[in-house]
Structure 1
Amino acid sequence: MEQRVDTTPNCGNMLSGVGAFAIENGLIAATSPVTRVRIRNVNTGTFIEADVQTPNGVVEYEGSARIDGVPGTAAPVALTFLNAAGTKTGKVFPTDNQIDYFDDVPVTCIDYGDASRHYSG
């Protein structure tokens, strides 16, 4: 088995900082109260829209939004993944089934921005 790190998926946590970086560095002009930043995902050829909180035309970092597994709170950044269905495998359901069974456990395999598996814990 080949041992390698797959660098093709994107990371929503990292993506949430791209818009603020672009605004803070003058790449995008801020609008109040929210600035929409369009981000190209070079790994999939798709686009993501990030809605960055910019009251008075300034990036707001403080807020009450929480992410499971991440300590603290911050201003929300809404990410919209555009045309992300099937970007890794060519199909929303790579197995052609909405539910598969692995060792009698129902599993849904989905490719929407990145291939993943979902099951009830």
Structure 2
Amino acid sequence: MTPFGLLLQLSGLSQREAGAFLVISPSMIDKMTRGTRAASAGVMREMRDLIERQDEAAAQAIAQIAHMGPSEIELGYPADDHEAQALGWPCVGAWRGMAARVIAATTAPITLVPRGATAGTAAAADRHGL
């Protein structure tokens, strides 16, 4: 267990996604996760910044859900990294990490559906950047 590895888990990124996001080889990500190579201050800052952004986005979504009342919520997820990037996330894993925070913090029933699968999810995703 390493501080980098814990941030990686909290972010929701896979090692492959982290490598692409941080522009670091997959073998270096593996070494930093296992502790055979120290993560640089810059890498740790990038991971902390991503996690802070996930926390902020989740807080906004939670506030919107609370305002909507107890109705069932459809949360549209990106199908691939390209779609996640169009929403402003570096990859699907980053979106997943944000969405997990939303689900953990609300008691409203949430259904995950492919983004744009219904008219409601397409409109909501466009409005809220989810």
TM-score, length-scaled by structure 1: 0.24
The higher-RCO structure (CA 8 Å, 6+ apart) is 2
Greater percentage in helix: 2
TM-score, length-scaled by structure 2: 0.23
